[in-house]
Amino acid sequence: MTDRDIDRELVARAQRGDKRAFELLVQKYQRKLARLLSRFVRDPAEVEDVTQEAFIKAYRALPAFRGDSAFYTWLYRIGINTAKNYLMALGRRAPTSTEVEAEDAEGYEEAEQLRDINTPESVLLSNEIAATVNATIADLPEELRTAIQLREIEGMSYEDIARIMECPIGTVRSRIFRAREAIAERLRPLLDTGKEKRW
Amino acid sequence: MRRQLARTLLAQTFGVLIAASAGLAQAQSAPEALEWLRKIYQATHDLSYTGTFVYQQGNHSETSRITRRADARGNVEKLEVLDGVPREILRTDDAIRCYLPSSRTVKVDRRSDRRGFPTLLRGEISGLAENYTVTKGESRRVAGYACQEIVLTPKDNLRYGYKLYADASTGMLLKAVTFDDKGETVEQFTFTQLAIGNVSRDKVKPWPTTRNWRVEDTDATPANLEQAGWTIAADLPGFRKVAEVTRTLHKSHPVDQVVYSDGLAAISVFIEPVAPADKPVQTGLANVGAINIFTREVANHRVTVVGETPASSVQRVAETVNYRQPH
Amino acid sequence: MKAKISALMDGELERHELQEPLKLLARDEDALACWRVYHLIGDAMHDRCMLSRDFGARFAERLASEPTVLAPRRSNARWERAPWLGLSAAASVAAVALVGWLALAPREAAPPLAGPVAIAPQKAVPAPTALAAAKLQGPARIPLPSATNDYLLAHQAYSSRITLQGMTPYVRTVSDEAVGSAGR
C-alpha cells in the first residue's frame, strides 16, 4: 500500500493551495472512480459529468480530510454520494434504493446482465489501447513483466516484489520503469494521432 | 515468563473464587487450558511452516498445501487446494488474493490497515472463555507430533464446539474438530504432514498472472447500515459486531456486509438490492460443512446470513433483519 | 526523470527525493504526460473505464475556477515522525474504524448484539436448550446460492479458520463456470 504515501503527500500539498497536486490525484484515480460510478449511471457522458462533479466535491471537502483513511476510500464515498444525489435530482433512484421504479428497473437490469464486465460496454477502455498494453506486456522479458504485474495488479511494494523476485530493490525499481517505458513507447503514437477519442 | 506465571496464578485464584462462590456444578475453564489456547494462538501467528492438510466434512474431503512465512516485515501465507480445480489463496498483511486459474480471475480483498491476519484463534482468550468452557483433554499423536488436546465446549447451542490438537513443544495447531450439540463431528481438518521452520521466499510466491486475467477488487469500504435504515436485532449473546462494510461482491452492485463474532466463530450478514429481473429470492437454509447459510427477502433486498454456527443461529439473525425508510 | 516519476507514483521515493519530480510535474508538460501515460497503463491492466480525451483538460478548467482551498495548518507531527515508508503503519493504528482484519476483542466499544449475556447452566457436552428449539420451525432447505463462493470469501476474512470452506466442490463448479463462460 505504499502508493498511499504519495497520495498523502499530494493531498497535503493540495491542502496548502497546490491545485496541480490535486490534478495529479485526479489523473491517478479518474478511471477507477468512473468505473465505480458507471454502476449508477450508464451514459458515458453522464459518467464523466458525475465523475468530475465528485472530484470537485472532493476538492472542496479537502480541508476536512484528515488522512485517517486512505484518500481513495474517502473519495469513493464522496463518489457514491454524488452519484446518488445526481440520480435523485433527476428523479431516478440509485440501485440500492428499496423501491425500484419501472424506469430504473430497465437500467438496473442492464447492469445486472453485464455479468463479467464492471461497466457498460460503451465505457470500457478503448480496445486498441488495452490490446496494445496487453500485447506489449506479453512481449516483455519475463523479469520486466513479472515486476510490472506484481506492482500494478498485485499492488505490492517494491520491497515485497524484491523479496519475491529475490533481487535488490533498485533492480525492481528499474524493471518497473523499463516496463512502463516500453509500454508507453508503443502507446504514445496511438495517443498522439488523435484517432483515439477516448481513453 | 514471569508475567505468564503471574497470569496463571491470577487465573487460578480467580477460578477458585468463582467456583467457590458459584456453588454450582459448573464446568470452569481450566487455567492451564486457557494458557494452551494462548500458546496455540501465538504459534499460528509466529511460526513459519509448510504442510499438507486434509479437510473433511461428511463424505467429502479436500487436500490442500499450506505454506506460511513469518517475517518481521510481514507475514505471507499461501494455500493451494490440491484436489480438483486448482485454486490458490495468498494472504499478506494487507490483502487476501484468491487465484482461480481456470477462469483467469484474481479476487482481491484489500485491507486498509496492516494488521496481520486471522489465525485460528485471535483476540482476547478470556473473551472466548465467556462463551466456551475450555478444558484440557488427552495427549495424542498427529502427523508425527505429540499433541495436547484442548476442548472448547460452547456454553449454549448458538455455536459449535471445538477440539484442538496442538504440538506440545511449539503450540502449532495440527488438528481441529468441530462438533455439534450432539457431540457429533461436523467437520475436521488435520495435517497429514508438517514441517515447522525455515520457509524460503520463493515458496510463497503468488500464482503468476498474465494478461487476460481479470482482477476483481472488492473495493470494501466502511458503511453505516443503521443510517441507511437497516436494523439487525438478533439476541445472540456473546456475539459482537466486528465489521460493517460495503463491498463489490457481484460485479454489478455493491453489497453491504455486517460481521459478528464471539472470538472464534463469525457470522456475516449480507444485504443487497434485488432487481425485478432477478429470480425471486428463495427463503431457506443451505449448508456447506460447518457453515450454514440462511436467505430471505426484506424490503426488496436479499439478506444472506452466513455463519460458522448451527443453523438456528443464522436463521435467528436473518429473521430479525428489518428495514425502515430513513427520514 | 521519467524513472523518478515511475518510482514517485508508486510511493517509493525517499522523502528528500520528492521535491524534484513534484516540482517538475507542477510545470513541465512532458512530465505530466508521463504521469498520465503511466497511470493509463495501470488502468488498462485493470480493464478500467475510458474517458474522453479532453476529460483532463475540462477538469483542469473547472478546478481553475474553483476557489483555492487552504486547510488550516494542522500538526503533522504524527506523520512526520514516522519514517516515510512507514506512514501507512502509523495511520493504521489510528484507523480503528476502518475495514481491516480486526483483532477480535469482545471488550471493545461495539455493543453486544442485544440483551444481557445469558450463560446457561454448564454441562460437559451441552444439550440443545428446549426454549430455542421450540421457537424455531424447521426451515426450508434450499440449494446453495450461486454466489456462495463470493460470500464465503468475503466472510472468511473475518473468521478464524485456516481452511477455506468456501472453496469446496459443491459450489466451485457453479461459480467458476459462470465466470469462465462470460470471461472471454
Q: Between B65 and C87, where is the model more confident?
A: B65
**Is B276 within 8 Å of A109 when comparing Cβ atoms?**
yes
Query: What cell numbers appear for B10 in the block?
Result: 491470577
In a domain, B41, yes or no: yes
In a domain, B59, yes or no: yes
In a domain, B213, yes or no: no
> Scanning the structure block, which residue is given the C-alpha cell 428489518?
B322
In a domain, B276, yes or no: yes
Q: What number is the average pLDDT over the span A173-189? A: 94
**Is A100 within 8 Å of B300 when comparing Cβ atoms?**
yes
Q: Between A62 and A199, where is the model more confident?
A: A62
CA–CA gap between residue C117 and residue C119 (Å, rounded): 6
Which positions 142-181 of A are in contact with C (Cβ < 8 Å)? 148-149, 151-153, 157-159, 173-174, 176-177, 180-181
**Is B252 within 8 Å of A166 when comparing Cβ atoms?**
no
Which positions 99-128 of C are in contact with A (Cβ < 8 Å)? none
| Ranges B11-15, B296-300, C20-24, C32-36: which has the least confidence | B11-15
The secondary structure of residue A114, as a DSSP letter, is -
User: Are residues B164 and B55 located together in one domain of the fold?
Assistant: yes
User: Are residues B177 and B224 located together in one domain of the fold?
Assistant: no
User: Are residues B111 and B248 located together in one domain of the fold?
Assistant: no
CATH number at residue B82: 2.50.20.10
Among B222-236, C70-84, C136-150, the range with the most confident prediction by mean pLDDT is B222-236
Q: What number is the average pLDDT over the span A182-198? A: 78
In a domain, B97, yes or no: yes
CATH number at residue B246: 3.30.200.100
The strand pairing partners of B165, in sequence order, are: B149, B175
Chain C residue nearest residue A180, CA to CA: C38
User: Are residues B57 and B194 located together in one domain of the fold?
Assistant: yes
Predicted confidence at residue A119, as pLDDT, reads: 42
Pick the closest to residue B184 from B205, B206, B163 (CA basis). B163
Q: Over the stretch B68-83, which tens digit does the pLDDT of each residue have?
A: 998 877 788 888 877 7
Q: Over the stretch B12-45, which tens digit does the pLDDT of each residue have?
A: 555 454 444 443 334 677 888 988 988 887 887 7
User: End of a domain among B176, B204, B232?
Assistant: B204
Predicted confidence at residue B114, as pLDDT, reads: 38
User: End of a domain among B204, B230, B248?
Assistant: B204
Helix, strand, or coil (residue B138) = strand
- Give the range of the structural domain holding residue B42, as residue numbers without chain letter: 13-204
In a domain, B214, yes or no: no
ipTM: 0.81
In a domain, B314, yes or no: yes
Q: Over the stretch B83-100, which tens digit does the pLDDT of each residue have?
A: 766 788 888 877 788 888
Q: B219 at the A interface (CB within 8 A)?
A: yes
Best of A41, A160, A166 to substitute, by most chain B Cβ atoms within 10 angstroms, is A160
In a domain, B8, yes or no: no
Mean pLDDT by 10 residues, chain B (327 residues): 56 49 54 87 84 82 86 82 77 81 80 44 67 92 93 92 93 91 89 89 78 76 86 82 81 83 87 83 88 92 93 92 86
User: Are residues B169 and B253 located together in one domain of the fold?
Assistant: no
Q: What number is the average pLDDT over the span C91-104? A: 24
User: Are residues B200 and B224 located together in one domain of the fold?
Assistant: no
**CB neighbours (10 Å) of residue A106?**
12
Q: Which residues contact A189 (CB under 8 A, 6 or more apart)?
A: none
Helix, strand, or coil (residue B44) = helix
Is the Cα torsion angle B184, B188, B192, B193 positive or negative in sign? negative
Query: Looking at the 3D structure of chain B, how many domains does it have?
Result: 2
User: Are residues B69 and B115 located together in one domain of the fold?
Assistant: yes
User: pTM to 2 decimals?
Assistant: 0.51
User: Are residues B269 and B144 located together in one domain of the fold?
Assistant: no
